[in-house]
Chains A and B, each alone.
Chain A
Amino acid sequence: AQTVTQSQPEMSVQEAETVTLSCTYDTSESDYYLFWYKQPPSRQMILVIRQEAYKQQNATENRFSVNFQKAAKSFSLKISDSQLGDAAMYFCAYRSAVGFGGSQGNLIFGKGTKLSVKP
């Protein structure tokens, strides 16, 4: 079974600085997706960034980028120029590309990292 581990329960960053959130995962599959989701106090899961396992190039979305190390099964999120609005819970998640009856698999989440941004 696949697992996702986030070893940092809490992180703090100064506004405008850079922070990196860590995630490791375990799988025997070759075709999968990795995600970082943000969950603010509103509780809605917001997709931050997605990485396809077959792509060697690291995904980037504006101030957010990942460091995907497939062999090491590591998937960290870097937030540059941190803003107060970045404060939230961040979840790393895994999803098999082949899941149920033609659909893709369910999301498997880590326990999350609470990010605080200091003004």
Chain B
Amino acid sequence: ETGVTQSPTHLIKTRGQQVTLRCSSQSGHNTVSWYQQALGQGPQFIFQYYREEENGRGNFPPRFSGLQFPNYSSELNVNALELDDSALYLCASSFSGHGYEKLFFGSGTQLSVL
């Protein structure tokens, strides 16, 4: 058990809709990152938030956005859903400080876009 929970576990949306995925990090973790895992692929980095500010981003368009809150929760928002957005979305939290920063993953949200 990593102490990182994601909701919902499964979600079905229609092309063009908007979706919000949620992640609850371990208490004390100041960093959260989101990954997209398409079927049969390894996870790809979407973006990272550190102390409520985005401080790193992968090769994803602006319609992918996020928020990180002081209570160790965070959100991934995707606007104008496309069929290719169908994937498993994983969040991972960590404490950024000194030394190695261990990542703790949630079990993901499986998003299907029809």
* Residues of A bordering B, CB below 8 Å: 4, 33, 42-47, 50, 52, 91, 93, 99-112
Most buried by A among B31, B42, B88, B102: B42
Q: Is the CB of B42 within 8 A of A106?
A: no
CB < 8 Å: which of B2, B55, B101, B107 contacts A43?
A: B107
For B, the interface residue count at a CB cutoff of 8 angstroms equals 29
Interfacial chain A residues near B86, Cβ < 8 Å? none
Q: Is the interface of A mostly helix, strand, loop or mixed?
A: loop
* Residues of B bordering A, CB below 8 Å: 2, 31, 33, 35, 40-45, 48, 50, 55-56, 58, 88, 90, 92, 94, 96, 100-103, 105-108, 110
Interfacial chain B residues near A101, Cβ < 8 Å? 50, 55-56
How far does the alpha carbon of A68 sit from the alpha carbon of B87 in the complex, in Å? Answer: 32
CB distance from A47 to the nearest CB of B (A): 7
Q: Is the CB of A43 within 8 A of B31?
A: no
